[in-house]
């Protein structure tokens, strides 16, 4: 006969779906993440499926696409926060993303200084406040 039923075809172990089956929304998201980064980062795999399905489109929009705040400035802001919460992984990611969006070494150096200044000012404020409470 001229047409074969796709559900009667042999499916190899590498295939997750039969031809003609729709991919689940979660699997579609994983594929999009892998196409975007070349991998699916471990922290994304660790999220509950419904969270990733909800958050990925927003994360992608506000991290990689053009929005009201240019990407370079979003990432420099993220870098300042990451530096103050002392998250080395976040600092690396926001530095790389800022560079991706066109931040120069001079801009990054200024941001590093401003972030460290904020942290130092907060420590000094805490010391002064504690001294005043005695």
CA 1 to chain centre: 50
Give the pLDDT confidence score for residue 99 in this predicted structure.
96
pLDDT band at 124 (very low <50, low <70, confident <90, very high): confident
The answer to pTM > 0.75 is no
pLDDT in tens, 33-55: 999 989 999 989 999 999 999 99
Contact 79, 95 (CB under 8 A): yes
56 vs 59: CA distance, rounded Å: 5
Whether pLDDT at 15 is above 90:
no
Instruction: Name which of 9-13, 47-51, 115-119 the model is least confident about.
Output: 9-13
């Amino acid at each position: 006969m001229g047409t074969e039923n796709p559900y009667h075809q042999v499916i190899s172990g590498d295939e997750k779906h039969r031809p003609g089956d729709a991919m689940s929304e979660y699997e579609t998201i994983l594929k999009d993440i892998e196409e975007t980064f070349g991998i699916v980062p471990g922290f994304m795999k660790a999220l509950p499926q419904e969270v990733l399905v909800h958050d990925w489109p927003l994360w992608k929009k506000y991290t990689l696409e053009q929005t009201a705040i240019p990407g370079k400035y979003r990432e420099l802001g993220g870098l300042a926060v990451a530096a103050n919460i002392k998250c080395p992984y976040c600092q690396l990611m926001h530095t790389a993303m800022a560079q991706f969006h066109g931040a120069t070494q001079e801009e990054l150096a200024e941001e590093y200084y401003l972030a460290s200044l904020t942290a130092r000012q907060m420590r000094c404020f805490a010391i002064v406040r504690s001294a005043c409470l005695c």
